Structures are given as C-alpha cells and as structure tokens.
C-alpha cells in the first residue's frame, strides 16, 4: 500500500463520521500537513504487520480524542505559536531545572518561590520527573509506574495543571520529562506481563533463555555497570529474561510492537494536555534495538521521533521536544532531524559535547578540543536550537569524538584517564572534588559526578580555608556562566548552582541512593543559604549577583538570543576561546581565558571580524585597551566585547 491523496481523503471521512469533527477544522488541516510523512514512517516501521493500516487509523483516532480533550486556552496558545514557528527561539529563553520535592516540597510549593525565579528572570522550568514511581529505588523518578498520578507527596495532577497555568501567566513555561524508553517494573503493563498476559509481555523484550540476550550482550554497552551490569534481568515469575538497559527495575519498551507506540503517543499527548510547553524525551537514542549493534541511534529511532513529532504537531503544535541524547557529537546532531527533516524531530537537544568540552578546557587550560568540537557543529536553522548547560542531574560522561581528541594531539584513552583523575581530585594540582560514577573495569570507563561549585574548586578551597583558591573557584564558575549565557542556544541552569551549592554527601546514608554517586549533586535546596544571595560579600552573593547581572545583560542584548547566528573563531592563543554572535544590527565578540595565567590576544582578531575600536566589555562596562596591538586577559577573564557606540 502506497500513500495516496485518496487514502487520506478516505481517512478524513472516516474520522469525521466517527468523531463528528468538521472537515475543514484545524485538526484536519494539520493532519494533512504531516500525514504523508506519518504514513511513510509508520509503514516503514510496521508495514510488515498485516493490520498496520487499521493500526495507523486507530492512531489517528487517538489524535482526535486527545485533540478533543485539549483545553481551549491551550488550543489558543497553539494557534499563536503556529503562526510564529520560532516563537521560542526569538526570545531571551533561560531555563531552570529542579527536583520538585528537593526544591519546593511539592508542586504547589513552586509557586511560593516564584519570586526567586523572577529574580533570575527564568523563562521556563524543568521539573525532574514527577510522576508516580515505586517507593525506594526509582532512578530519581525515571522508573515511572503511572503517568496518571504524581509521585507520593508532590500533589495531584490537578495541582500540576494549576501550577502550569499559574507559571504561564508569569511568563514561565513548563518542561516535563517523558520517559519514552522504559517503564518501571511496577507499571501496570509490567505487572500484567508478570501475571502472564501475553498482550503485555509483548510490550517488552522477553526471552525464555539466554540465547538471544547473550547475542545482544556481545555488542551492547552497559549503562550502569556497577549497579545493573548487563542489559537483561531474570524475572522469576515468568521465567524470562527481560531487557533492562538501565536499571534492573526499568524495563525497556518494545517499539517493534505498534501498540507500544500507540500507548506512548497517548501519554505524550496527555502531558501536552496538562499544559507542558516542552517535553524532554528521555534516553531517546535507546528506543530501537537491533542485534549486532550497540542498540543506540538506530535509524528507526529517528522514524519514531518523527512520528511522535507529527502527532504532537497535529494535537498540540505549541509543544516542543527536547532530545536527551548524550551520545557522540555526530549522533546528537541527528536528533534535530537531518536534511529535509530538520524541524521534524526535536526542537532542542542537550549540547552535551559543548558541556563536556568546557570541562575539558577548564582542566587542560587549553581550548583546542572545545574549539575543534564546536567547529564540527553545523549552523542550525532558526527554529531549532541547542540546550546548553554546565551541569545537570546526571554524571559527566567523557563522550568526545575520538577523532577530534586525536586531531588535537591527545591519545583518547590517556586523555580520558587524565580528565577523570583531574576531576576526582587525584591529579597533582587539581582543585576539583568530583566522584567516580559507574567505573567499568571491563573497558576502563569512568564518568564523573559532582556539583558545579565542587568541580570548579570551591569545596576544596573552603575546606582548606584558602582565600585565593576560593576567589579562583568563583571565577571559574563565573567564566563558565559567561560562556553559557552568551553561546548560541538556550541556557539551562541547574538548581543550587546559582548559589554555589557544594556536593551533598548525605546520599551515602540512604539505602536507595548509596550506590549512585549522582545523588551527590542532587541536593535539597538550601533556602537558608539562598538568603545569603543578597550579601555581596558571601560566596552565595558573589555567584548569584554576578549571575543575575549576566542574565539581565543577556536579556537586553538581542544578539545573544538563541536564533542569532554564531561563529567560533581561532583566537590565536591556545588558552583563549573566542566566538562571535552577529545579527544584521549588532555584533558581539566573546573572548575567554581558560588558564590561570594572564594571556595575550592579538588585536588583529577585531579586524578579522570587522569590529572597530574602541571596544568595551559589556559585562564590566569597561573599555578594553588594545595597546601595542594586543589585548591582555587576566586569569579566567571572559569579555563580551562590543564596539563603543
Ligand atoms: C536519562 C536520565 C537519567 C536516567 C536515564 C534512565 O539519561 O537523565 O537520569 O538514569 O535516562 O531513565
Ligand atoms: C548514559 C546515557 C544517558 C544517561 C546517563 C545516565 O550516559 O547515555 O542517557 O543520562 O547514562 O548516567
């Protein structure tokens, strides 16, 4: 069966009759725009099933049902956003991530701290997964057992809806997690599967013996080798091996089964209907499994994401997708959609390459890998963007492209070893206090946990009572913020970092956290400490006030907003990172010294980009002299340079 206009016309007629929808209504107009792609992708994935057309029809019916349930005020917002597809990127967007319980107690509590968000000028909040999970271990919310209710103690779905609405009135959008790759082993589907229900057993990957699992294991890496080695878990109730790529209690969904897709699309649309503006598609590279591969980034994953996106663009076109694809730089890019598919997958993707290269530059004091990696990132069209960040709830994985690492003169293995040693504080002269995460003796991999401030040296400096080191640590934090807030894309701040919260070792006393060092950087928000933010002498105040001032400046500098173009340039000094943001009206040059020594940059840099002297640093409001043809940067200095008008 091939796509034809007649097929679509017939489908519309059927749906119209079934759901009493007016033919010309926006729903069908939108469906008409995406249907051919939807059809082709669906057929590609499920065309071998004898009833695939019936199932596609059913999926379209689901879209109508969810559309009919969508509240009018959300539909109104959708229409406004449809008229301006780059609505999100043509503004000064800044996000803030929080665990609801750790930051505000419960969802309503978020509103009590609205002023705090307002003080920073936050434009969207990412609530870490807040749906129902089993007691005890649940991977920080990523083992969802029910999307129809919230985690114990957080409140009701109605509360969440109200909070979404209230935040929206404040101009703050809502980002929610959609855990698409797996469910908790306590999810209703998993429970039914354990009871022997074949329909639900087909929702997961289950094998009666080790034959197939062993084949898979030959090529699949391990995500949590310390706590959940291997990719399969034996389930005694049904005497089967279930695929569990993450933890043993997170069962991977089987997207070969079109009913899984159907259910997951339904949940995505329910989250959209709650009032979410952005959905974070968790662990997206893992959605499709194929024997003989790493089971990551398979081409079918992109087909699935395109289907999700098509469905959302029919029912809730105002909703954006964020890809959480912490993979190789080349693979990350594909989640924007490739070629003519740009805009048909995710609107934002975590810029993990940028993040890890910033940490690389801080440790090596050299910007070669950072510059090279970023030069490899293509220019993005204005309706998609990077989500830039320094820290998040996860570890830092050293996911560089080995080719880049070699090209800048390092040996990949040794270089990773160095970075781990450095951030765990073992390397002579290191200031960092990170922790190892998931060391894998089989391949030598180690990832790094730790809060922004602790990795940047603040914890060690405070312990040692070393004022000079404390000052440097704060400068490192601010250097990173200055780059984050001027780099092209949408910046996402991680809660607690704004007041320099340190590692929190209390997880070691908690049974369900002790084996997962990521909890060291998932503290309870310290509101007492936050009060010190108004004291400009305190550490909290120094970081917070500088950050707020940067955020203020960014708000007033359109040239720094996500849609404005950027080029990475060679500063001529291996310790100094440089890039230009430029629009038809304005130009801004960012120069950042990653070393703890004074550095010199040639004034020719200005000529090269067509910037005329005199110039000033917008951050300090100070004119920057170019004497004897050079500019002199203090240790960790970062300037946002503009022509003095
Ligand atoms: C994502 C989350 C991470 C979680 C994993 C499994 O990568 O960010 O915290 O452990 O998915 O859901
Ligand atoms: C791996 C996964 C990523 C996840 C992380 C959690 O890096 O690729 O999706 O967030 O593990 O530690």
∠ CA 175-453-120, nearest 5°, is: 45
Identify the H or E element spanning 617: strand 615-617
Name residue 449's beta-bridge partners.
435
Yes or no: say if 610 and 641 are a contact pair by the CB < 8 Å rule.
no
Beta strands 599-602; 587-593: pairing state: unpaired
Could you tell me the distance, in angstroms and rounded to a whole number, from the CA of residue 451 to the centre of ligand 2?
A: 17
Q: Which tokens in the block code for residue 476?
A: 């490192």
**Ligand closest to CA 138:** 1
Per the rule left: phi > 0, alpha: psi between -120 and 50, beta: everything else, 615 is beta
Whether the CB-CB separation of 255 and 288 falls below 8 Å is answered with yes
Percent of the chain with pLDDT over 90: 95
> Dihedral through CA 418, CA 422, CA 427, CA 429, nearest 10?
130
- Check pocket membership of 101 for ligand 1, CB cut-off 6 A: no
- Omega cis (within 30) before 515: no
Pocket test for ligand 1, best of 185, 283, 285, 399 (most atoms within 8 A of CB): 283
Name the nearest CA neighbour of 308 among 25, 42, 127: 42
Smallest Cα–Cα separation from 502: which of 461, 466, 472?
Answer: 461
Q: What contacts 276, CB < 8 A, 6 or more positions away?
A: 164, 174, 175, 176, 319
Please check whether residue 626 is in contact with residue 584, taking contact to mean a CB–CB distance below 8 angstroms: no
CA distance 32 to 26: 10
How many CB atoms neighbour CB 76 within 10 A?
11
Nearest-CA neighbor of 284 among 247, 334, 231? 334
Cβ–Cβ under 8 Å, residues 553 and 547: no
DSSP 479-497: HHHHHHHHSSSEEEEETTG
Q: How far is the CA of 324 from the centre of ligand 2 (A)?
A: 9
Could you confirm whether 324 is annotated as catalytic?
A: yes
Beta strand 385-389 with 490-494 is parallel
Single out the catalytic residue among 101, 324, 347, 360: 324
What is the 283 CA–ligand 1 centroid distance (Å)?
Answer: 6
CA 521 to chain centre: 16
Q: Which atom of ligand 1 is nearest to the CA of 143?
A: 12
CA–centroid distance, 142 to ligand 1, in Å, is 6
pLDDT < 50 positions in the chain: none
Among residues 583, 344, 603, 354, which one has the least CA distance to residue 487?
A: 354
Taking alpha carbons only, the member of 133, 251, 269, 237 closest to residue 202 is 251
Instruction: Return the structure tokens found at 234.
Output: 């034996």
Distance 290 CA to ligand 1 centre (A): 21
Q: Residues enclosing ligand 2, CB less than 6 A?
A: 223, 283, 326, 394-395, 397
Nearest atom in ligand 1 to the alpha carbon of residue 224 is 10
Contact 491, 95 (CB under 8 A): yes
Q: What is residue 406's three-state secondary structure?
A: helix
| Active-site residue identified among 282, 401, 404, 459 | 282
Read off the pTM: 0.97
246 lines ligand 1 (CB under 6 A): yes
User: Which ligand ends up closest to the CA of 222?
Assistant: 2
């Amino acid at each position: 069966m091939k796509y034809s206009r007649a097929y679509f016309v017939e489908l519309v007629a059927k749906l119209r009759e079934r759901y009493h929808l007016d033919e010309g209504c926006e729903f069908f107009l939108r469906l008409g725009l995406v249907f051919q792609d939807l059809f082709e992708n669906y057929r590609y994935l499920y065309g071998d099933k004898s009833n695939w057309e019936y199932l596609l029809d059913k999926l379209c019916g689901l879209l109508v049902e969810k559309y009919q349930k969508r509240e009018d005020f959300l539909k109104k917002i959708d229409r406004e956003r449809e008229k301006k597809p780059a609505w999100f990127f043509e503004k000064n967007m800044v996000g803030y991530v929080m665990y609801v319980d750790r930051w505000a107690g419960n969802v309503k509590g978020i509103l009590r701290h609205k002023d705090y968000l307002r003080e920073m000028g936050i434009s969207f909040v990412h609530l870490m997964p807040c749906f129902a999970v089993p007691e005890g271990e649940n991977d920080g919310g990523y083992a969802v057992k029910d999307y129809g209710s919230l985690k114990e103690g957080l409140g009701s779905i109605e509360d969440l809806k109200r909070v979404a609405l209230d935040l929206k009135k404040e101009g703050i959008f809502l980002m929610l997690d959609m855990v698409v790759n797996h469910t908790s082993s306590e999810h209703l589907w998993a429970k039914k599967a354990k009871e022997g229900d074949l329909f639900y057993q087909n929702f997961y990957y289950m094998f009666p013996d080790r034959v197939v699992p062993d084949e898979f294991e030959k090529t699949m890496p391990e995500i949590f080798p310390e706590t959940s080695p291997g990719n399969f878990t034996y389930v005694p109730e049904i005497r089967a091996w279930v695929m569990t790529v993450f933890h043993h209690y997170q069962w991977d969904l089987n997207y070969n089964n079109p009913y899984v897709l159907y259910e997951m699309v339904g949940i995505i649309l329910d989250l959209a209907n709650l009032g979410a503006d952005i959905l974070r598609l968790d662990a997206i590279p893992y959605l499709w499994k194929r024997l003989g591969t790493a089971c990551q980034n398979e081409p079918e994953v992109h087909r699935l994401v395109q289907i999700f996106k098509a469905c959302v663009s029919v029912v809730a076109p105002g909703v954006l997708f964020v890809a959480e694809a912490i993979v190789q730089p080349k693979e990350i890019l594909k989640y924007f959609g490739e070629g003519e598919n740009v805009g048909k997958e995710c609107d934002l993707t975590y810029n993990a390459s940028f993040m890890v290269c910033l940490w690389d530059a801080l440790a090596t004091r050299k910007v070669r890998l950072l510059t090279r990696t970023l030069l490899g990132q293509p220019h993005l069209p204005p309706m998609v963007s990077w989500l830039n960040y320094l820290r998040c709830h996860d570890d830092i994985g050293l996911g560089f492209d080995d080719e880049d690492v070699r090209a800048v003169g390092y040996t990949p293995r040794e270089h990773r070893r160095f970075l781990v040693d450095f951030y765990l504080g073992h390397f002579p002269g290191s200031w960092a206090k990170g922790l190892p995460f998931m060391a894998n003796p089989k391949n030598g991999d180690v990832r790094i946990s730790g809060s922004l401030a602790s990795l940047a040296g603040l914890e060690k400096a405070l312990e040692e009572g070393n004022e000079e080191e404390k000052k440097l640590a704060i400068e490192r934090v601010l250097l990173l913020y200055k780059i984050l807030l001027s780099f092209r894309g949408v910046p996402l701040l991680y809660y607690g970092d704004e007041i320099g919260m340190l590692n929190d070792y209390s997880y070691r006393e908690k049974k369900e956290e002790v084996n997962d060092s990521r909890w060291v950087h998932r503290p309870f928000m310290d509101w007492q400490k936050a009060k010190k933010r108004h004291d400009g002498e305190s550490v909290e105040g120094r970081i917070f006030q500088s950050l707020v001032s940067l955020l203020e400046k960014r708000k007033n500098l359109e040239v720094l907003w996500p849609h404005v173009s950027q080029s990475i340039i060679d500063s001529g000094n291996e310790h100094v990172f440089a890039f230009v943001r430029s629009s038809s009206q304005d130009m801004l040059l960012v120069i950042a010294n990653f070393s703890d020594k004074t550095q010199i940059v040639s004034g020719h840099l200005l000529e090269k980009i067509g910037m005329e002297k005199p110039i000033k640093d917008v951050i300090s409001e100070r004119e920057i002299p170019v004497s004897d043809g050079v500019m002199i940067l203090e240790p960790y200095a970062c300037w946002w340079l503009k022509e003095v008008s």
